[in-house]
Amino acid sequence: MAENLKEKTITGVIWSAVQKFGSTALSFISTIVLARLLTPEDYGCIGMLAIFLAVSSTFIDGGFGSALIQKKRPSREDYSTIFYWNLGLSIFLYSVLFFSAPAIARFYNLPILCSVLRIQGIVLIINAARIVQANQLRKQLKFKKIASIDLSVAAISLAVTIYLAWKGFGVWALVAQQMLVSFLSTSIYWMTGHWTPVLTFSKQSFKELFGFGGFILMSNLINTFCNNIQGLLIGKFYNPTTMGYYSKAKGTEELSSTFISTIIDQVSYPVLSEAQNDKEYMIRMLKKFIGVLAYVTVPIMLILMLVAKPLFVLLYSERWLQSVPYFQILCFAGIAVCLQGINYYAVAAIGKSKDLFKWTIIKRLVALFFVVGGLALYGINGILVGTVFGTFFVYFVNAGLVSKHVGYSGSQQFKDLLPVMIVSLFACACSYLIGSVFDFNMYVDGLVKAAIFCVIYISASIIFKLEAYVSTKDVVDNLLNKISILRKK
């Protein structure tokens, strides 16, 4: 089984990487172009509504999709039951948002949000109609098909969005982008998929899947709310422009911190679920996944902190300079965020959803305390610093749960990560100090610091033979070999 799973994992990683690289490239283009065509206020309007749509989306499929993947052999009756549940719940939640839209607009004191939410909220129903098809492909590790659909849809929607922004549609261009992505992807999943629901709703299937998925649902609801609470607070206590600066900083940070972790998380959950009865194999896989994540993501976040100012001016223009300090603080949080998911899904893969839920309440209450306390003491910068403390606390709790249920102890995970952290911080300090000696212009300074960081980081990894470096090199070699084989077919 281990060899078969390894083969599926490598193939899954390749196509997940293709999807992530492609979507990141398209997002990169979108961000650069739209930042010059739209204003911070436009992004602020979308950012203010993010928490309502995110929580609603999580409510619709926060647990049952995971339950279908975690279950060894879900039946057609299982899939149909969840399909009808998701669709019915999405219609109900959209109705709640539709009638709540005027109150939400008054909460932010921004009338346009009423119309924006009523139109944008339709994506909840459209997305609910494709959840089962997407989860079936994930469970079967058919990431090639997922990548093809997602990248095609992203490219088409990007072209339309840029055109609308150029024509002066403002915030409605961003709304149209989300609507188009939802509609096109759902349509393609239905046209190309081989699954259709049967006319049945099984109470037994619902009860069985809810036994696992219900706790995952509640955990994900809490996680989603707390991950978006910063936007709610900033939107309430600051103006749309400030919210726009924050949204741009957060979006750029998430694009970077989740770049590799999304690929790993997407593949690791179904793989670890398949191997849930082989703890030794799970520990080996976890150790490799976490090592690769840390080795790649930690230096990326530190480099981005060093070059934040020239990066934002180059990509978005000087209009967005106020986002730079927000972005630099959030990069610290990104280091913890990249490691949260793999630990969380490892515990979910072995069916410990009840324990996940219990600890989700605890860890998110503490994280929320950091954010609200930060707002009270230091305003928006306090919110962001509180976010950093909160994300690291969440990571430590997730790692503790892995130690308890899987057997990969927190102390061992810390020991495995420590060399990467030390080498990364050393490279960051050296590049900052050396770069500060010279009086370069902004762009050259950024390039010099990034180059110095990379040389020191890679050289130290080779000299000291970091285990994470060896694992990353092994993964890259396997991927290259697999790509070579796929090209010959």
User: In this structure, is the dihedral angle defined by the CA atoms of residues 372, 378, 381 and 385, taken in order, positive or negative?
Assistant: negative
pLDDT at residue number 486: 55
Residues 6+ apart with CB under 8 A from 400: 410
Q: How far is CA 177 from the centre of its chain?
A: 19
Residue 389 in this model has a pLDDT that exceeds 70: yes
pLDDT at residue number 474: 83
- What does pLDDT average to over the chain? 84
Report residue 402 as tokens: 């892995």
Of the pLDDT bands very low, low, confident and very high (cuts 50, 70, 90), residue 38 is confident
* Among 5-19, 28-42, 206-220, the least confident range: 5-19
Task: Output 194 or 433, whichever has higher pLDDT.
Answer: 433
Are 128 and 89 a contacting pair, CB within 8 Å? yes
Q: Report the predicted TM-score, pTM, of the whole model to 2 decimal places.
A: 0.79
Reference 395, options 427, 424, 375, 421; nearest CA is: 421
Tell me the C-alpha distance between 311 and 331, whole Å.
14
Residue 480 burial (10 A CB sphere; 0-12, 13-18, 19+): exposed
Tell me the C-alpha distance between 205 and 350, whole Å.
19
Residue 254 in this model has a pLDDT that exceeds 60: yes
Task: Output 68 or 231, whichever has higher pLDDT.
Answer: 231
Are 244 and 40 a contacting pair, CB within 8 Å? yes
pLDDT at residue number 342: 86
Of the pLDDT bands very low, low, confident and very high (cuts 50, 70, 90), residue 330 is very high
* Among 165-179, 209-223, 285-299, the least confident range: 209-223
* Among 6-15, 24-33, 459-468, the least confident range: 6-15
Highest mean pLDDT among 26-35, 200-209, 284-293, 299-308: 299-308
Of the pLDDT bands very low, low, confident and very high (cuts 50, 70, 90), residue 249 is very high
Each residue of 123-171: pLDDT tens digit? 989 988 888 887 777 766 677 777 788 888 888 988 999 999 998 888 8
Each residue of 289-308: pLDDT tens digit? 899 889 999 999 999 999 99
Each residue of 351-388: pLDDT tens digit? 787 888 889 899 999 999 999 999 999 999 999 999 99
Residue 172 in this model has a pLDDT that exceeds 70: yes
